[in-house]
Amino acid sequence: MNQKRCTAIVLAAGSGSRMKSDVAKQFMKLRGRPLIWYALHAIEESSVVDDCILVTGAEDISYVKKEIVEKFTFRKVAAIVAGGAERYDSVYLALRFIADGGLAVPNRDGYVFIHDGARPFLTEEILQRCYDGVTAHRACVAAMPVKDTIKIADHDNFAVRTPDRSALWQIQTPQVFETQLITEAYEKMMAWQNAADIRQADVLPQTALQEAGKKETTGQPPRITDDAMAVETFTDIPVKLVRGSYENIKVTTPEDMAAAEAFLENQFGRRQTAAKVFLLCGKICSGKSTYAEELRAEHHAVLLSVDEIMLAVFGLYAGDKHDEYTERLQNYLFAESVEIVQSGHSVILDWGFWTKQKRAAARAYYRNRGLACEFHYIDVDDKVWRERIERRNRMVSAGETEAYLIDDNLAKKFAGLFETPTADEIDVWVRR
């Protein structure tokens, strides 16, 4: 039996008020990446989730589309939807988008994974456990047993009760449900909310509240703080708690950001045995060197550049042996990269990989040795490329950099030699 369709709803419509920042928390940088990048990357790489709806503030849609989705090539983001005033409004708008047929591939009888974009430590293991939970129980949430003793306090902050810690769980996301179930719960919740707003001091007949689907229709509407509570309150389906992770924190304060930095550093240490090779594809003057430095800083990787070595050994010109020396040096660096990765450190190969044949050969080289590799294509439009060539030439003429001039004929030659990659050749498409 085929897996039912799984759609993630990633919530990124918060503010930076508790972070004491003018920048919304989901866009703040964590080790060089926007915070939201980490959750979207986990979903992009997941074998569980098929597509994703990203919910953000209406004023941020253009920014998110260009600087998050397109810049980092998140192909699973099928739609960017404007959120509402409250978290539950944002979830409801995304659910309505699904119900109204907004997705290219419908998901009316599959599953929905609702995740806070400010939780950067989503993993494939958590997603898989949640998938197993929802297929067995129709509704589940990631959670962890609490470690601390919890006290129930009165209005004056005096402890009045100590619940049994063994029965208490800290709720996280993703929260996962059958699509129809969570949509039904939210429809009833929104109807109850609207009915309660209209009621105004209990003047609305109780039948109107009962029609909203609430189990207990007395008093004020409950304050729904998560999606599981909507299902618990407005349906008869119990919600299963599945194991998340103590690292699956929500980043809402500067202290949380510091903890996230520490978690990432710890993860980097654990990733040493899973090092990989990053192969940078792109034309000269496309911005590969700048991007390579960013990757090196992020992954603590070793950068291997043919151009840098050739320049150090031969200066600007290697004569008629240039192509021969370049090929021999590339082969040498391929072999060196294998040793480096096997020692636990990632490697960046920065020399363009201009042809389809060279890209296929490089991928096969590492696959045959059981090593992970990623092709990153630095894509730059022709106008920007020409401007960068002109800037390079000005710097060369002024003696500010040691490089050769690229005149129009040479630029045309380079453009003709470069074979633009197809989507199936590239793992990460970087637009500059």
pLDDT digits 0-9 by tens, 264-315: 777 655 544 478 999 999 998 888 888 898 888 878 899 999 888 887 887 7
CB atoms within 10 A of CB 384: 13
Task: Return the pLDDT at 210.
Answer: 52
Task: Return the pLDDT at 207.
Answer: 45
Q: Is the pLDDT of residue 20 over 80?
A: no
For 34-38, 117-121, 192-196, 240-244, which range has the lowest pLDDT when averaged over its residues?
192-196
pLDDT confidence band for 404 (50 / 70 / 90): confident
CA distances from 256 to 99, 249, 251 (A): 35, 8, 5
Q: Is the pLDDT of residue 333 over 90?
A: yes
Question: Which domains are assigned to the chain?
Answer: 6-263 (3.90.550.10), 275-431 (3.40.50.300)
Q: Is the dihedral of CA 368, 369, 373, 377 positive or negative?
A: negative
pLDDT confidence band for 46 (50 / 70 / 90): very high
pLDDT digits 0-9 by tens, 161-172: 999 988 999 999
What span, in angstroms and rounded, lies between the C-alpha atoms of 300 and 321?
A: 34
pLDDT digits 0-9 by tens, 80-109: 999 999 999 999 999 999 999 999 999 999
- pTM of the predicted model over 0.75: no
| DSSP string across 119-157 | -----HHHHHHHHHHHHHHSEEEEEEE--S---EE-TTS
- Radius of gyration of the chain from its Cα atoms, rounded to whole angstroms: 27
